[in-house]
């Protein structure tokens, strides 16, 4: 298993691109939650931590509320298990509350920089988050931003069943992660001169 798929509110139905993702990739699976309809952050975090406990080098593919679950990993030890995260159509909790009153108990918006490479995939007409807000949170999380135009909430309603672009974007993120890892390795291989050394003339 190398990819965990994190759906949002109400889960992802059989026609959702996340469901297609797991059918297309046998190394990917949806992390099931006990209650998809009334999400509670602590419960969803506990479930994700349980799945990560026996895994390493996991890629996350998250949608909507699932992106906030992934972003909250910045404050958790299990973040070290993550290799990178594709954060598709993140939602603004204020908008979620407006559209689904008294349903979601997810605390506040995560604002800490993520300790792993990530990409925010945003739409210009997403009812759950404006492009400007998506750009702001991408900056806070240290994420690359992919603006894919007018794509709604990038879900079934906006016509996103099987979604080939998603695979391309994850591959772009994977290439970036390799570049970052190689750059880090090169920096570590450089032997810095000892600061206390002085030559004798």
Q: How much is the pLDDT for 193?
A: 46
pTM for the model: 0.90
Let me know: does 131 contact 121? Beta carbons within 8 Å: no
Instruction: Check if the beta carbon of residue 133 is closer than 8 Å to that of residue 93.
Output: no
Q: What is the pLDDT of residue 145?
A: 98
Mean pLDDT of each 10-residue bin along the chain, 201 residues long:
96 95 95 95 97 96 98 96 98 93 92 97 97 98 97 94 95 93 74 41 34
DSSP state of 155: S
* pLDDT score recorded for residue 185: 78
Distance CA 78, CA 55 (A): 10
Q: 43: left (phi > 0), else alpha (psi -120 to 50), else beta? A: alpha
Query: What is the structure's pLDDT at 196?
Result: 39
Q: Which helix (H) or strand (E) holds 179?
A: helix 164-189
CA angle 74, 152, 109 (to 5 degrees): 25
Spatial contact of 21 and 28, defined as CB atoms under 8 Å apart: yes
Residue listed under structure tokens 């407006």:
98
What's the pLDDT at 189? 62
* Sequence-distant contacts of 36-39: CB under 8 A, at least 24 apart: 36/7, 36/9, 36/10, 36/11, 37/9, 37/10, 37/103, 38/103, 38/104, 38/105, 39/9, 39/65, 39/103, 39/104, 39/105, 39/106
């Amino acid at each position: 298993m190398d990819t965990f798929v994190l759906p949002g509110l109400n889960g992802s139905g059989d026609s959702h691109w996340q469901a297609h993702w797991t059918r297309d990739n046998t190394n990917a699976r949806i992390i099931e939650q006990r209650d998809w309809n009334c999400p509670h952050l602590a419960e969803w975090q506990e479930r994700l931590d349980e799945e990560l406990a026996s895994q390493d080098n996991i890629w996350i593919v998250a949608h909507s509320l699932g992106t906030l679950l992934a972003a909250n990993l910045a404050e958790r030890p299990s973040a070290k298990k993550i290799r990178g995260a594709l954060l598709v159509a993140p939602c603004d909790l204020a908008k979620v509350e407006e559209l689904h009153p008294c349903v979601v108990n997810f605390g506040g918006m995560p604002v800490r920089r993520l300790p792993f490479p990530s990409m925010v995939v945003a739409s210009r007409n997403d009812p759950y988050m404006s492009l400007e807000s998506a750009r702001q949170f991408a900056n806070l999380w240290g994420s690359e931003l992919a603006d894919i135009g007018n794509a709604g909430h990038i879900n079934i309603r906006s016509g996103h069943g099987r979604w080939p672009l998603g695979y391309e974007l994850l591959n772009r993120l994977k290439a970036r992660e390799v570049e970052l890892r190689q750059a880090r390795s090169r920096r570590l291989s450089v032997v810095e001169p000892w600061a206390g050394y002085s030559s004798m003339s």
